[in-house]
Amino acid sequence: MNTTGTIELHGDAPVDHAPRETGRDRVNATLGMILFIGSWTMAFGTLLLSFLVLRDKIAVWPPAGIALPSAPIAGFATLVLAASSVFVERASRSLALAPAVGADRRASFSSLWITGMLLGLGFALLQAWLWYDLILAGRTQTSGLYESLFFGLTWVHAAHVLVGLSLLGWALVGSKRGRYGPARRSFISNAALFWHFVGIVWLFLFLGFFVF
Amino acid sequence: MSMLKTLLPSFALLRSRWLGCPLALMLTSTWALAQDKRWGPGEPASDYGDRFYDLFWLITILVSVAFALVVVLLVIPVLRDRARPGHRASFDHGKSLHDKRLTAIISIVTFIVLDAWVLVIAMKDLREAYWAIPDAKDPQTYRVEVLAQQWAWNFRATGVDGEFGTADDILTINELVVPLNRPVSFNMTSKDVIHALFLPEMRLKRDVNPGAINEAWFKPIKEGDFTILCAELCGFAHYQMYGKLVVLEQGQFNEWEAEASRLASTAFDADDTEAHWAWDWQE
Amino acid sequence: MSSDHIHPEPTTFLRKHVFSTDHKVIAKQFLWFGLIWLGIGGIMAMMLRWQLANPGVPVPLLGGLLFPRTGGVIDPASYNTLFTMHGTIMIFLGLTPAMIGALGNWCIPLMIGARDMIFPTLNMLSFWAMFAGGAVGFYSLFVPLGATEAGWTGYPTLSTTVGGVGQGETLWAIAVFLIGASSIMGGINYITTVIRLRAPGMSWMRLPLTVWGLFLTSILNVLFVPVIGSAMILLVLDRVFGTSFYVPASIMSGGTGGDPILYQHLFWIFGHPEVYILILPAWGVVCDLLSFFARKPAFGYRTSVGSMVVITVLSAVVYGHHMFTTGLSAMLGESFMLLTMIISVPAEVLFFNWLHTLWKGSLRLTTPMLFAMSVIFVFGLGGLTGIYLATIGTDIFLHDTYFVVGHFHLTMAASALFGTFGAVYFWFPKMFGRMMSEKLGKWHFWLSFVPLVIVFCIMFISGYAGMPRRYYDHTSVEYLRPLQHLNVATSVAAFLLGAAQLIFVFNFIKSRWWGKPAPQNPWDVGTLDWTIETPVPHYNFKTIPVVQCGPHEFSNPVLGPDTDWIYQTEKLPD
């Protein structure tokens, strides 16, 4: 420390490189992601609040005498999404546990991650099945408040599923090309965090529509 | 008002010649309108109307004192503490316990004087007046169902039989006739968008929402013609959604009601379902 | 990835000036963007005032161009569009970028001693999302069937297809959504940057209050902008896909329907914090500028911070006072009235601290200082008149009258705008390397301040006299006709106010390119942004500074008689 009260961090020459991710960088990235998820919690919280307020307007819940989305399919989809989250999380952790870049580690990451993605894709298909079933029964988003809520909320959620799957795919491609790996894994852990968030939102939707 | 009407043609004249001369237009219209001006809402015509006036001016006095203090404390340093050679600001972070106490005391005192006082009166007003919806079963209460639409006020009174949804219901558009010195109670809803019933002389305002029924009431204490306005943006003719409130002395009102009821029964058309929008009174 | 590393300076024009990730460039982009939109919104306000003062008379100059079908007269539908877009533009496309975007980007890294924002790419996206929102909003003005006419609050069912079909309202909702996305991105960036990139020694209690204001604003942005985002999604679903979230059963042709009041709750859960989103940075700037130019420490730094934190927390639970006439239950109404009154306490503490900062100072009445002091005056007026509206007894009459218009313009619009002006005059030398003309600045100040106070104070009178807002023509109703003289007087003052802004435009442009070169530290202020040379080098700080004292050590006796200030990087003499 000198008299002007500054410390030299990098010296005079500008330093240019794609640096190895430090623990500090990882905290930064995770903090940003947590803030983002906090923000999105408010967004989905708003939708869930609207759901609760509007649900109150429907005399009988779930409405009687009309075709409803299939609860068994939805329940199965919930399990699939939960399993997907578990695989994605295990993949993400497998990187954190391997500080040195190792081919075997990357291989186990890939297989876990791809399994997670496939399960996510499975969820998306099940979700599409739910919609298809309902539309076949003649119920669309314009049919009434229940349908407005069901289609509207699941659409918004499905958009996030698609974004989540894209992020997972991007992370996979990046890890194959060596852009991400045990030494630079913030993107991967953040993608996993986002995926868990998407799963938790679905859990609330499932509980709201099919359980309570 | 009459001045304005006589001046309107000259506006058209100005339009063609003086398009680029806004000042002339402004001055002319100011002069024209200054002939007939008002600075306040006028005398209240409902029994709780004075409450608004009293509370408004109480707050005004309190707020003026507070604001005067702020301005004085803003102006004194400007006059006294300007930067000049040899002058140095006093050094004070305001961190001492004394400063914190002072801050706390001033805030609490301001809160009590400025807010708490007003709050207590407001609560009293709400319970005694604005939210004290009169009992609908009391025959003194004059009930009116209001159906707002783009851009008109539909009013429905029971007529002489005291029942809504019967042939002698008095339906009026943009004009409401009520008896003097009797509480008037509203059940209001809207056909399309949100409107707000605003009776400025009565100091009454309440939103009229589609899909729900809102209540409001007032008790007229002056005879005469008054104003009905819409106070919630409801489309491009929002400003033209106004009507007339007529307060009649009880004897005159009875005559009017009997005649209107009779006419309504005569004109009643059982097939005109559009006109049968009455609902059961809600409390 | 991380911004405490030095990246090479971009070389292409596109990377340097358009898709730049440098916080300083983005700050300038936001500033220009915000100022241009403030200009557009201001011209709209002038047209509104013209119509109100001279109902049915063609608008001079612009009328023939904008309203050719009516011969230059603003028709009622266009009038509704104008005030809707005026509100939307001023809040989302004017003040938000100019205050939060520009100021946040400029001040946060420079004042906390960071080389850039922590997520530079996100920062760039934040600007371009805002830009896209502005583009969509602008485009919506030209679609068939016209732009939105539902007011900036966009209450259903007027904003649903019940109130009007066409793309205008839908595009408006999409624009608000995009701008919201921009605010959230900015907010995440600001919060993380302040938490993670403060220079060594820059403890929370040594942060300039400007940074505190921006930090708290960002928290509100991150938490409450998503609420309106969701509300807008539901609105778009209702409009485009025929759902019935906001359309009640009585209007639907059959089946069950939703609830238009739900939207009001959602809107104001966001809308009330939005007021503080706009005002908190201005408060932070005012706290700092008063101290800088009174040459005195900011009085009660900790209580100021505490008050701002309390206001941030409380801002979420007072929103119901916007809905007193909607039909809230008595219990809810009274609770919101009480909570709203309570939020005035921390605001009082801030006032007390500001006035105490000035007391026995050594005031340098520069342009930024004048604007900062005027915020005390203007926000005082606006804040105190809030009591009328927080009290249900008076709000019943005053709700949706010009009283409300005057109140919120003084609090969230004028205070935020004057705070922005103060900040622009203050940081201009560092931003563009040139001084703004003080003489023109003072003209601008006085010619803005006086008409502004007149404009909104007359609105208090017209509101008290019962003049409803959002009326195309008050002379059409007999009850309102005798109030027209107030409208005329308001408009005269408003035109003066508008004309005065031309001085600012002239001063800004002239100083930007032909102004006097600015010294490194023209204001004798010790915060980190003034420790670096002008123009600021690409990496801000060649070496990351170490902070040794607070930002407001003015006139400290230990500094000796020759100087009354010290850089934050210097150690206070014993």
**Domain residue spans of chain A:** 8-211
pLDDT at position A61 is 85
Per-residue confidence (pLDDT) for residue A19, from 0 to 100: 55
- Nearest CB to B118: which of C363, C387, C466? C387
DSSP state letter for C147? B
B207 and C325 within 8 Å at the Cβ level: the answer is yes
Other CB atoms within a 10 A radius of the CB of residue A1 amount to 9
Q: What value does the mean pLDDT of chain C take?
A: 93
Residue C139: count other Cβ atoms within 10 Å of its Cβ.
14
Q: What is the dihedral of CA A68, A71, A77, A81, to 10 degrees?
A: 110
- Window 98-137 of B: residues touching C by CB (8 A cutoff) are 99-100, 103, 106-108, 110-111, 114-116, 118-119, 121-123, 125-126, 130-131
State how far the Cα of C429 lies from the Cα of C515, in Å rounded to an integer.
Answer: 9
- Burial tier of C68 (Cβ tally within 10 Å: 0-12, 13-18, 19+): exposed
Angle at C244 between CA C134 and CA A123, to 5 degrees: 85
Tens-place pLDDT, residues B178-228: 999 999 999 999 999 999 999 999 999 999 999 999 999 999 999 999 999
Measured from the Cβ of residue C308, the count of other Cβ atoms closer than 10 Å reads 26
| Helix (H/G/I), strand (E/B), else coil: B219 | coil
Share of chain A above pLDDT 90, in %: 64
Q: Are residues B151 and B112 in the same domain?
A: no
SS3 C222: helix
Minimum-distance CB partner of B33 among C72, C464, C485: C485
pLDDT of residue B170: 94
What angle in degrees, to the nearest 10, is found between the helix axes of C260-294 and C330-358?
A: 10
Q: Is the pLDDT of residue B19 over 80?
A: no
pLDDT at C71: 87
pLDDT for A11 beyond 60: no
Looking at the complex, report in whole angstroms how far the Cα of residue B213 sits from the nearest Cα belonging to chain C: 9
Helix-helix angle C415-432:C367-390, to 10 degrees: 160
The answer to the question of residue B2 being in a domain is no
CA distance C402 to C400: 7
Dihedral angle over CA of A137, A141, A147, A150, nearest 10: 110
The per-residue pLDDT for C282 is: 96
Closest partner residue to C6 among A10, A22, A143, by Cβ?
A: A10
Cα C377-C379-C385 angle, rounded to 5 deg: 105
Mean residue pLDDT of chain B comes to 88
- On chain C, the residues whose CB falls within 8 A of the CB of B41 are 397, 464-466
CA gap C483, B42 in Å, rounded: 11
Chains touching chain C through at least 3 C-beta pairs below 8 angstroms are A, B
> Which pLDDT band holds residue A179 (cuts at 50, 70, 90)?
confident
Helix (H) or strand (E) holding C346: helix C330-358
Contact residues on chain A for C224, CB-CB shorter than 8 A: 42
Q: Is A104 on the interface with C (CB under 8 A)?
A: no
- DSSP string for chain A: --TTSB--SS-SSPP-S-PPPPHHHHHHHHHHHHHHHHHHHHHHHHHHHHHHHHHTTSSSSSPSSS----HHHHHHHHHHHHHHHHHHHHHHHHHHT--S--HHHHHHHHHHHHHHHHHHHHHHHHHHHHHHHHHHTT--TTS-HHHHHHHHHHHHHHHHHHHHHHHHHHHHHHHHTTSSBTTB-HHHHHHHHHHHHHHHHHHHHHIIIII-
In a domain, residue B236? The reply is yes
Preferred mutation among C80, C363, C410, C558 to probe B, highest tally of B CBs within 10 A: C363
Q: What confidence score (pLDDT) does residue A86 get? A: 96
Q: Work out how many domains chain B is built from and give that number.
A: 2
CB-based contact C270:C179 (threshold 8 Å):
no
CA angle C389, C395, C396 (to 5 degrees): 170
DSSP state string for C549-572: S-TT-TT-GGG-SS-S---TTSPP
A84 Cα distance to chain centroid:
10
For residue C200, the chain A residues in CB contact (below 8 A) are 7
pLDDT of residue B7 exceeding 80 = no
Collect all residues of chain C within an 8 Å Cβ-Cβ radius of residue B212: 248, 259, 261, 327
Based on the fold, state whether residues B159 and B263 are members of the same structural domain.
yes
Query: Which residues of chain A have a CB within 8 Å of the CB of C196?
Result: 24, 27-28, 31
Does the distance separating the beta carbons of C387 and B63 come in below 8 Å? yes
Check residue C541 and give its pLDDT: 92
Question: What number is the average pLDDT over the span C402-423?
Answer: 96
For residue B24, tell me if it sits in a domain: no
Residue B13 lies in a domain: no
Over range C525-544, report the average pLDDT.
Answer: 92
Which two tokens mark B90?
Answer: 């006093």
pLDDT of residue B20: 44
Dihedral, C291, C292, C295, C299 alpha carbons, nearest 10: 10
**pLDDT tens sequence across C455-497:** 999 999 999 999 999 999 999 999 999 999 899 999 999 999 9
What is the pLDDT at residue A16? 36
Q: Which of C225, C219, C226, C264 is nearest to C245 (CA)?
A: C264
Tell me, what's the pLDDT at B114? 86
C-alpha dist (Å) from residue C521 to B202, C296, C367, C427, C528: 61, 18, 16, 10, 11
User: Which range (A119-133, A162-176, B265-279, C387-401) has the least confidence?
Assistant: B265-279
Mean pLDDT, residues A1-28 taken together: 54
Tell which CATH classification among 1.20.120.80, 1.10.10.10, 3.30.40.10, 1.10.150.670 matches the domain A8-211. 1.20.120.80
- pLDDT band per the 50, 70, 90 thresholds, residue C307: very high
User: How many Å apart are CA B177 and CA C143, to the nearest integer?
Assistant: 44
Q: Give Cα separations from B125 to A85, B220, C332, C384, C387 (angstroms).
A: 57, 17, 16, 21, 16
Nearest to B151 by CA among B218, B232, B216, B247: B232
Looking at residue C1, what is its pLDDT?
A: 40
B124, B147: one domain = no
Instruction: Tell me: do B49 and B116 sit in the same domain.
Output: yes
Is A5 in contact with C262 (Cβ distance < 8 A)? no
Contacts with C, B 198-217, CB within 8 Å: 198, 200-201, 203-207, 209-212, 214
Least confident of A18-22, B72-76, C65-69, C210-214: A18-22
Among candidates A14, A32, A145 on the partner chain, residue whose Cβ is nearest the Cβ of C8: A14
Name the burial class of residue B268, with classes exposed (0-12), middle (13-18) and buried (19+) by CB atoms within 10 angstroms of its CB.
Answer: middle
Residues on chain C touching A42 (C-beta within 8 angstroms): 222-224, 226-227
Query: What is the β-pairing status of strands B243-248 and B175-179?
Result: parallel
Ranges of H-type helices in chain B: 2-17, 22-33, 49-80, 97-110, 117-125, 250-267
User: How many pairs of residues across A and C have Cβ atoms under 8 Å apart?
Assistant: 157
Residue A2: the pLDDT is: 33
Q: Give the span between the Cα atoms of A23 and A31, in whole angstroms.
A: 12
The pLDDT of residue B14: 47
Of C57, C79, C399, the CB nearest to B11: C57
Inter-chain residue contact B90 with C400, CB threshold 8 Å: no
Determine phi and psi for B61, rounding to 5 degrees: -65, -45
Q: Do B89 and C394 touch (CB under 8 A)?
A: no
Residues B48 and B123 grouped into a single domain: yes
- Using the Cβ of A194 and the Cβ atoms of chain C, whether some distance falls under 8 Å is answered with no
DSSP helix/strand/coil, B188: strand
Q: Residue C78 corresponds to which amino acid?
A: S
Q: Which residues pair with B217 in a beta bridge?
A: B185
Q: pLDDT per residue over B96-113, tens digit each?
A: 999 999 999 998 998 998
Closest CA to C405 of C323, C462, C479, C327: C462
d(CA B268, CA B165): 11
Distance CA C289, CA C524 (A): 12
- Min Cα separation B262/chain C (Å): 31
B74 and C373 Cβ atoms separated by less than 8 Å: yes
Place of tokens 């839908």: C170
ipTM of the complex: 0.92
Q: Is A20 on the interface with C (CB under 8 A)?
A: no
DSSP 8-state code for residue C363? B
Contact B111 C341 (CB under 8 A): yes
CATH number of the domain at B258, please: 2.60.40.420
Residue C96: its pLDDT value, please?
Answer: 95
User: Are B271 and B228 in a shared domain?
Assistant: yes
d(CA B192, CA B205): 19
B171 and B252 part of one domain:
yes
pLDDT score at A100: 52
Segment B140-176, tens digit of pLDDT: 999 999 999 999 999 999 999 889 989 999 999 999 9
What is the number of alpha carbons within 13 Å of residue A161 lying toward its C-beta?
A: 30
Residues B161 and B179 in one domain: yes
Segment B24-51, tens digit of pLDDT: 555 565 565 556 788 899 899 999 999 9
- B181/B105 same-domain check: no
Specify whether the CB–CB gap between C215 and C194 falls below 8 A.
yes
What confidence score (pLDDT) does residue C33 get?
Answer: 97
B126 to C475: CB separation less than 8 angstroms, yes or no: no
Token pair of C512 as six digits:
């930007």
Residues B265, B148 within the same domain: yes
Range from A7-16, C226-235, C423-432 carrying the lowest mean pLDDT? A7-16
Q: Do B214 and B264 reside in the same domain of the chain?
A: yes
Question: Rounded to whole angstroms, what are the CA distances from B235 to B134, C140, C236, C268?
Answer: 33, 18, 19, 21
The residues in A 144-173 lying below 8 A from C, measured between CB atoms, are: 144-149, 151-152, 155-156
Q: Characterize the bridge pairing of strands B195-199 and B184-190.
A: unpaired
Name subunits touching A (3+ CB pairs < 8 A).
Answer: C
Same domain, B234 and B155: yes
Beta carbons of C223 and A47 less than 8 Å apart: no
Confidence class for position A6, pLDDT limits 50, 70, 90? very low
Q: Do B95 and C338 touch (CB under 8 A)?
A: no
Name which of A9, A47, A186 is nearest C543 (Cβ-Cβ): A9
- Structural domain harbouring B266: 142-275
Contact assignment for A6 to C545 by CB distance below 8 Å: yes
* Cα atoms in the Cβ-side hemisphere of radius 13 Å centred on B143: 25
SS3 of residue B159 by DSSP:
coil
Residues C30-44 have pLDDT tens digits of 999 999 999 999 999
Asked if residue B12 belongs to a domain, the reply is no
* pLDDT band of A182, cuts 50, 70, 90: confident
pLDDT tens digits for range C139-167: 999 998 889 999 999 999 999 999 888 89
**Contact criterion met (CB < 8 Å) for A43 and C227:** yes
Please report the pLDDT score of residue A18 as a whole number. Answer: 47
The helix-helix angle for C104-112 and C23-53 (nearest 10°) equals 140
Looking at the DSSP bridge assignments, the partners of residue C401 are C468
Query: Based on C-alpha coordinates, what's the Rg of chain A?
Result: 22
Residue B252: alpha-carbon gap to chain centroid = 27
Give the closest residue to C171 by CA, choosing from C192, C187, C149: C149
Which residues on C lie below 8 Å from B52 (Cβ)?
Answer: 393-394, 396-397
Beta bridge partners of B143: B185
With a cut of 80, say whether residue B64 has pLDDT above it: yes
Strand B204-208 and strand B195-199: the pairing is antiparallel
Q: What is the pLDDT of residue B18?
A: 44
Length of chain C: 574
| Residue predicted with more confidence, C539 or C136 | C136
Residues 295-354 of C with CB under 8 A from B: 295-303, 325-327, 330, 333-334, 337-338, 341-342, 344-345, 348-349, 351-353
Residue A104 has pLDDT above 80, yes or no: no
